[in-house]
Structure 1
């Protein structure tokens, strides 16, 4: 466990977003966010998308950083 939780924890700290603010934006319980951040439970695949969308509402930079940290550095597709 941990890649999503670790990425989420880092993004929340870096961008000053509280677990409660993320939970409210997502429409979920703060306890869920806390379990992800503490790496007690991994969010499901569809929830990863919801986390990204909620972060995008709060801070587009935070959302981009979450995706980068979660997926890792992926090579850019050249045209």
Structure 2
């Protein structure tokens, strides 16, 4: 498991967003967010987009940070080409 959970954990800590607040914004149980946060399961690609959208409604900077952390290496390598 990995990259999404690590990025999510960092963003929630950095922007002081609780797992419960994200769960409410997503319309899922907190236990679902807990499992992503602790890297027990990985969300689908579609769910990652939903997570970013929910974060955007809470704090747009948090959403941008999630995308940067999650796709950073991909985006940086794309800019080098």
Question: Would you say same fold, with TM above 0.5?
Answer: yes
TM-score of the superposed pair, with normalisation by structure 1: 0.92
TM-score of the superposed pair, with normalisation by structure 2: 0.90
Match of residue 45 from structure 2: 45
**CA RMSD after TM alignment:** 1.2
Aligned to 1:72, what secondary structure does the other structure show?
A: helix
Please report how far the alpha carbon of residue 14 of structure 1 lies from its aligned counterpart in structure 2 after TM superposition. 0.2
Query: Which runs of 5 or more residues in structure 1 are unaligned?
Result: none
Please report how far the alpha carbon of residue 72 of structure 1 lies from its aligned counterpart in structure 2 after TM superposition. 1.4
Match of residue 4 from structure 2: 4
Bigger share in helix = 2
Match of residue 32 from structure 2: 32
Query: Which runs of 5 or more residues in structure 2 are unaligned?
Result: none
